[in-house]
């Protein structure tokens, strides 16, 4: 609680000096919108004769999913689950916890999991493993971003909107210590340095 309050006050102080204009723009909202239109059409065609269940990985997947679901032109069911590993750690991953899988009814459905960013791949691979136990017809994945880092796995999401260099990014759902999720585009901190 104390740490949360302290982070909040430091964030408010930081915001006075570092607005959006002081962050490095990595991907603009126009670029995101254009890509979502194209991918929405692709998904509508790929899943035309299937039983699509779109599952958002909260919280990071919130913005991409909200826009993507309005670009998909076929019927689908919408579900959510929650995964967290970064939390208040800031720029480094902690223990991965996944919630909400128990209440999903996906037997015989074609699942498309939507997340914000693919870094090591641990999050999506753990979710895929847990979802497989519920006997869906298929499981595919979509991420807004893939971070270009060396990875232990050769697995990559089936739909990727953008590849980015090895930078910590915020905005459009992505957070730093739970802040910045509401920025309309993707940004990095100047010199990739954490502000607080
Ligand atoms: P992975 O399990 O290593 O693939 O990491 C995926 C999760 O880590 C994402 O869903 C994000 O929540 C978080 N993450 C990874 N890189 C970043 C970043 O640059 N900014 C914000 N969150 C990130
Ligand atoms: Mg995430």
Please, are residues 64 and 172 in contact by the beta-carbon 8 Å criterion?
Answer: yes
Domain enclosing residue 47, as ranges: 23-192
What is residue 13's predicted lDDT score, i.e. its pLDDT?
53
pLDDT band at residue 7 under the 50/70/90 scheme:
low
Question: Does 12 fall in a domain?
Answer: no
Burial (Cβ within 10 Å: 0-12, 13-18, ≥19) of residue 68:
buried
Residue 155 above 90 pLDDT?
yes
- Count of domains forming the chain: 1
Contact 159, 142 (CB under 8 A): yes
Mean pLDDT across 166-178: 97
Residue 19: what pLDDT?
62
Q: Is residue 11 part of a domain?
A: no
Residue 31 covered by a domain: yes
Does residue 151 sit in helix, strand or coil? coil
Confidence (pLDDT) at 16: 45
Say if residue 21 is exposed, middle or buried (CB neighbours under 10 Å; 0-12, 13-18, 19+).
exposed
Answer whether residue 79 is part of any domain: yes
pLDDT beyond 70 at 77: yes
Using pLDDT thresholds of 50, 70 and 90, give the confidence band for residue 91. Answer: confident
Q: 61 lies in a domain?
A: yes
Predicted confidence (pLDDT) per residue in 24-63, tens digit: 999 999 999 999 999 999 999 999 999 999 999 999 999 9
Per-residue pLDDT at 18 exceeds 70: no
pLDDT score for 183: 98
- Let me know if residue 118 belongs to a domain: yes
First to last CA, the chain: 17
**pLDDT at position 117, please?**
98
51 close to 103: Cβ distance less than 8 angstroms: no
CB atoms near residue 183 (< 10 Å): 19
User: Mean per-residue pLDDT for 68-91?
Assistant: 91
Residue nearest to atom 11 of ligand 1 (CA): 117
Q: Which residue has the tokens 């919108």?
A: 33
- The residue whose CA is least distant from atom 9 of ligand 1 is 117
Which ligand is nearest to the Cα of residue 126, counting in written order?
A: 1
- Going across the sheet that includes 97-99, the strands are 97-99, 77-84, 52-58, 110-118, 138-147, 159-164
So what's the pLDDT on residue 17? 47
Nearest CA to ligand 1 atom 5: 119
Would you say residue 10 lies in a domain?
no
List, chain by chain if needed, residues with CB within 6 Å of any ligand 1 atom: 60, 85-86, 93, 115-123, 147, 168-169, 174
pLDDT level of residue 90 (50, 70, 90 thresholds):
confident
CATH for 47: 3.40.50.2020
119 CA → ligand 2 middle, Å: 10
Question: If you average pLDDT over residues 127-147, what whole number do you get?
Answer: 98
Residue 48 lies in a domain: yes
Return the ligand number nearest the Cα of 174.
Answer: 1
Mean pLDDT of the 66-80 span: 98
């Amino acid at each position: 609680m104390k740490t949360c309050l302290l982070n909040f006050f430091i964030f408010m102080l930081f915001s006075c000096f570092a607005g959006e204009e002081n962050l490095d723009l990595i991907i603009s909202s126009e670029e995101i919108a254009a890509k979502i239109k194209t991918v929405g059409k692709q998904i509508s065609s790929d899943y035309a004769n299937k039983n699509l269940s779109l599952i958002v990985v909260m919280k990071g997947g919130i913005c991409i999913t909200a826009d993507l679901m309005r670009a998909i032109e076929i019927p689908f069911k919408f579900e959510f689950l929650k995964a967290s590993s970064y939390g208040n750690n800031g720029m480094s991953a902690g223990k991965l916890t996944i919630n909400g899988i128990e209440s999903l009814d996906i037997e015989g459905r074609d699942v498309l999991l939507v997340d914000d960013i693919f870094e090591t791949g641990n999050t999506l691979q753990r979710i895929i493993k847990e979802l497989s136990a519920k006997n869906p017809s298929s499981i595919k994945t979509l991420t807004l971003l893939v971070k270009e880092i060396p990875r232990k796995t050769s697995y990559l999401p089936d739909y990727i909107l953008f590849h980015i260099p090895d930078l910590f990014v915020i905005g459009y759902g992505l957070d730093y210590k739970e802040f910045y999720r509401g920025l309309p585009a993707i940004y990095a901190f100047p010199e990739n340095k954490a502000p607080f």
